[in-house]
Amino acid sequence: MSAPDLAALLASSRNLAAHLEQQELPHLTLGLDQIENQSRKLVSRTGGVGAANERANYLLAQARVNAPQLQDLATSLNPALTFSPLQPIRDTDIASHLRHAHEQAILSTIEETRRGTTQSFWRSMEEKIGRDWEEKKKRVIEELATGDERRMLESSGGLWGSRSLAQSQGLASSGAFGVSQSQVAGPSQPSMSMPAHSRMMVYDRVISDLNRARLQETPFPVIHALTEATERLPPESKRDQIVSTFSLLASILGEDDPRSASYQTDPLTARAYSQAYLAAAPNTPLAKDLRRKTLRGSMKWLEDLYTQHVDGTLQNNPVEAALGANPSASNKLRAFLAMKYYDAGRWQSNLELVKGQPLWAKIYFLLRCGHTEEALAEAEKQDIALNKFDKFFLPCLREWVSNDDRSVSKQLRDRLLTSYNTHIRHAPTIDPFKHALFKLIARAEPARRNVTHVTETTEDWLWFQLAMADEPKEGVATNGGLKEVAATIVKFGEKSFDKDGKRPWLWARILLSCGEFERAVAGMHEKSNMSVEAVHIAIALAYYGVLRVPKSAQQSDSLLTVVDGTSYFHFDTLIQRYIRHFTRIDPKEALQYVYLITLNSDAPGDVGKEQVAYAQSLCRQIAFESPNYEELVGGRRRDGLSFPGAIEQNMKLLHLEDAKAYHQSIVLNLALQYHTEKRLIDAVKLYNLAGEYNDVMKLLIQAIGDTLFESPEIESEAGQIRATAREMWETYYTTPEVRSIVQDALLRTCQKLLKIREGFEDIHYGRQEPGLEKLSQTELLPFKTTVYDMHRKAEEVRREDPAIVRNLPEIIKQTMEALWTLYREAKKRSGEQGFQQRLMNLREKAKRLNMFATSLGLAGMDFPTLNTLESYMHS
């Protein structure tokens, strides 16, 4: 650009700002050379880049950032190499191909490892969350079960008698025992319910008596005791249901009335059936005998129940019954049949009459009521008429009645089956009771165990199933026996028998009748109004050995576990849930139930040991949660004598043979639990009770050492621990038999720690001289040690107990501060006699103390404070 152009540009720029100009400000006109010179001067006045960098490095160094190192690292990076384009590999370059494959293998391995690690992490996380959730869910379920059992019981309707089997079984629509449901049980109306706790209280006494009998190793009629306890409750329909269920159980297990002669001569003992019931092989002679006993007991109860129904019907209708002076079973059944099937001067058309009487019906109902001999006598009276129809029926009936297992020889059975298949099975019209008798005695058609118009009610149907079950003493069974009946009933399910759920006791009694004890108790416990009885029925079953318990590894949310078709019941879990109601309120009563878990100690394999171990751990837990655990585990009085607790008095029920086993299993483990929870005083008492005196001293020494210099003005457990330690030390030191067991080193260490604590408290409250005297009595300080023996003294002190050694820095510091306090006070009394000597003694002690601290060389020693205080004494 030319000079005129620059001049014109300058003139125009001045014209733009002419209106802003002020006359008082001079105009500066500088040439280019002048501008350059002024610029160079300005640049020379500013600091260099190096000075700025130094200040920046200084600031970054304060934040522990090494700026020069980072700058060198950044300079060394060559982005050209990082982002250099890939070069293609020629087909003939084998080395490059191998190198590339090797690098790719490394990269893929790294990627797969990273992916596998990530997946493993999330999988482990999900498993842990799942485990935590399962544990929490289990606790929630247990809490909900506990709360459910506290509800008020509701009415369960009428007695057992009510028919509701599925129509596929061919049962009629009438109610129990052939009359309407309202006649037997009345309508299902809610009634005044009994609180669960009232029944729990009456059962508590039975359980205490049961355990007392176990300690004395005498039989105890637990079912009859529970029945009597129930009968003491206010009368209502629910009480009758409970009593009826207990009576069924007593009949099944063969527990006689304790007032009877049979019980006095041959009582049923504890675990009487465990060997037979828990046997792995189901066809052992003992197992077969037990199934036959279950069959007979169930049938007898059903027969007695029907007999009561017959008697009640006749008593309510004396005119129609017209018994006269002959109250025999045969005459009663004649009258009952007339009331049931005779109307308007004629018998029902489907009944076959012999000499004007329904002979087949009468024989069947005599068998149904358990009068087998009377049934045979009635048949023999009409032998001519019977033989005209079938000459093999009467011999078969005679053999069937005479055999305990209700078996018939194969020859007679085959002939009776031939008659059944020929004349009865497909007959268009046949007397239903005749049909039932042939089917029953010959055990014909085991897959169809019902007869129309005969098995009308649930009880009739169940009795017929049990009567047809074949459990022979010898020979081959004609059907699956009791197991097949049980499988059929379980397959039907509760809804087939109680659709509306208004008769909860019905299903429980059906399961008990067919030997499904575990399922029966589990089903009862699921219903809140039956859970209390479920617990005590389970106890009775466990007492007699007819309740299977699983391994601890087979835990589940449900109390019932089925493994390979065999049912197991979590009896220990049942007891644990039940006692939660009153563990804190009445721990002694809760323990009575825990002792029952060991009834299963003879279970096969390791199951029995697991049950015993769980019972012992549950006892410890109850004692741990009890506010007065000494009542449960025992303790020692101030005079040193021990007193037993409730658990020790019943330790044989926990399979603890002597005091040593009791201390090892209960007391020491409980002491360890208290120790873990930092309840040190309780742990000390239990260790002392178990005779572990050295452990008592070790625990006290550790506890005192941890709080040795805690402020005396703070009230805490540490003060109680020190008081307990003094009491224990005095007892141990003055009792020869205990002194001979406790290590002398532990007694000395405890004594020294207590003395140090006393000295510290004196110093804290301004009593420096007594405090220093007590500290000197521990022989830990070098006041009487020469300079030449200082190192030996330090080595000797370092070998003391760790509770003392770790407190030495604070002990020395407190001692030095006490010396300094005494020195200042001494200087204030400068005119007194011996003033200088006292100051010299204090300086000498401070000097030796500082030398001693240096010789110890312990971590945490406050040398600045020690040196400062010593220097003050020499100033």
User: What is the pLDDT, as a whole number, of residue 650?
Assistant: 95
Say whether pLDDT at 192 is over 90: no
Domain that includes residue 868, residue range: 779-873
pLDDT in tens, 231-241: 988 887 788 89
User: What is the pLDDT, as a whole number, of residue 588?
Assistant: 94
pLDDT > 70: percent of the chain: 86
pLDDT in tens, 549-578: 999 877 777 899 998 889 999 999 999 999
Distance of alpha carbon 20 from alpha carbon 18, whole angstroms: 5
Q: Are 284 and 471 in contact (CB under 8 A)?
A: no
* Residue 689, C-beta contacts closer than 8 angstroms, at least 6 positions apart: 633, 634, 635, 636, 642, 663, 667
Give the pairing type, strands 635-636 and 566-569: unpaired
Q: Which of 238-242, 648-652, 852-856 has the highest mean pLDDT?
A: 648-652
- Whose tokens are 């028919």? That residue is 163
User: What is the pLDDT, as a whole number, of residue 140?
Assistant: 64
Reported as a pLDDT band with limits 50, 70 and 90, residue 384 is confident
Distance of alpha carbon 131 from alpha carbon 555, whole angstroms: 14
What sign does the CA torsion over 195, 201, 204, 209 have?
negative
pLDDT in tens, 108-144: 999 999 999 999 999 888 888 887 776 676 666 555 5
Where residue 217 falls (left for φ over 0; alpha for ψ -120 to 50; beta otherwise) is left
The partner residues of 496 in beta bridges, in order of sequence, read none
How close are the terminal C-alpha atoms of the chain, in Å?
A: 89
What sign does the CA torsion over 842, 846, 847, 852 have?
positive
Distance of alpha carbon 733 from alpha carbon 524, whole angstroms: 60
Count of CB atoms situated within 10 Å of the CB of 722: 20
Q: Which two tokens stand for residue 77?
A: 């990076």
Alpha helices in 545-692 (DSSP H): 571-578, 587-594, 607-625, 630-633, 646-649, 659-662, 668-676, 680-689
**Secondary structure element (H or E) that encloses residue 560, with its range:** strand 560-563
Give per-residue burial for 507-544: e unless 16+ CB within 10 Å, then b: bbbbbbbbbbbbbbbbbbbbbbbbbbbbbbbbbbbbbb
Distance of alpha carbon 687 from alpha carbon 696, whole angstroms: 6
**122 in a domain, yes or no?**
no
pLDDT in tens, 64-109: 677 777 777 777 766 665 555 667 777 778 888 888 888 889 999 9
User: Which of the 8 DSSP states describes residue 268?
Assistant: P
The reported pTM is 0.74
**811 in a domain, yes or no?**
yes
Q: Which two tokens stand for residue 726?
A: 């003094």
Q: Are 635 and 643 in contact (CB under 8 A)?
A: yes
User: What is the pLDDT, as a whole number, of residue 2?
Assistant: 58
Where residue 165 falls (left for φ over 0; alpha for ψ -120 to 50; beta otherwise) is beta
User: What is the pLDDT, as a whole number, of residue 428?
Assistant: 82
User: What is the pLDDT, as a whole number, of residue 373?
Assistant: 94
CA atoms within 13 A on the CB side of 441: 34
User: Which of the 8 DSSP states describes residue 667?
Assistant: I
The amino acid that residue 801 corresponds to is: D
User: What is the pLDDT, as a whole number, of residue 655?
Assistant: 95
Count of CB atoms situated within 10 Å of the CB of 746: 20
User: Which of the 8 DSSP states describes residue 424?
Assistant: I
Q: Are 813 and 746 in contact (CB under 8 A)?
A: no
pLDDT in tens, 586-640: 999 999 999 999 999 999 989 999 999 999 999 999 999 998 999 999 988 877 6
Q: Are 284 and 276 in contact (CB under 8 A)?
A: yes
Distance of alpha carbon 571 from alpha carbon 549, whole angstroms: 6
pLDDT in tens, 675-720: 998 899 999 999 999 999 999 999 999 999 998 988 887 777 888 8
Count of CB atoms situated within 10 Å of the CB of 717: 14
Distance of alpha carbon 861 from alpha carbon 866, whole angstroms: 9
Distance of alpha carbon 734 from alpha carbon 722, whole angstroms: 18
**545 in a domain, yes or no?**
no
User: What is the pLDDT, as a whole number, of residue 544?
Assistant: 96
Residue/partner pairs of 653-656 with CB below 8 Å, 24 or more apart: 653/211, 653/214, 653/215, 653/595, 653/598, 654/595, 654/598, 654/612, 654/615, 654/616, 654/619, 655/598, 655/601, 655/612, 656/616
CA neighbor of 644 nearest in space, from 657, 663, 626: 663
> To 5 degrees, how large is the angle CA 438–CA 439–CA 445?
145
Average pLDDT in the chain: 84
CA neighbor of 308 nearest in space, from 402, 374, 240, 259: 240
- What number is the average pLDDT over the span 374-387? 90
Say whether pLDDT at 857 is over 90: no
Q: Which two tokens stand for residue 159?
A: 């007695």
CA neighbor of 274 nearest in space, from 263, 287, 260, 291: 287
Distance of alpha carbon 482 from alpha carbon 448, whole angstroms: 15
**809 in a domain, yes or no?**
yes
Distance of alpha carbon 79 from alpha carbon 143, whole angstroms: 67
SS3 for 803? helix
The amino acid that residue 367 corresponds to is: L
User: What is the pLDDT, as a whole number, of residue 142?
Assistant: 57
Say whether pLDDT at 183 is over 50: no
CA atoms within 13 A on the CB side of 496: 17
pLDDT in tens, 1-57: 555 677 777 777 777 766 555 555 555 666 777 777 878 777 776 655 555 666 677
Q: Are 353 and 362 in contact (CB under 8 A)?
A: no
Q: Which two tokens stand for residue 210?
A: 């049961």
User: Which of the 8 DSSP states describes residue 343?
Assistant: E
CA neighbor of 452 nearest in space, from 174, 182, 184: 174
**791 in a domain, yes or no?**
yes
**847 in a domain, yes or no?**
yes
**805 in a domain, yes or no?**
yes
CA neighbor of 709 nearest in space, from 666, 769, 663, 753: 753
User: What is the pLDDT, as a whole number, of residue 191?
Assistant: 34
CA neighbor of 513 nearest in space, from 551, 574, 548, 464: 464
What sign does the CA torsion over 337, 341, 347, 353 have?
negative
**289 in a domain, yes or no?**
no
Distance of alpha carbon 609 from alpha carbon 548, whole angstroms: 14
User: What is the pLDDT, as a whole number, of residue 168?
Assistant: 34
For the ranges 124-138, 212-226, 246-260, 277-291, which has the lowest average pLDDT?
A: 124-138
Q: Are 594 and 621 in contact (CB under 8 A)?
A: no
Main-chain phi, psi angles of 431, to 5 degrees: -60, 120
Total domains present in the chain:
1
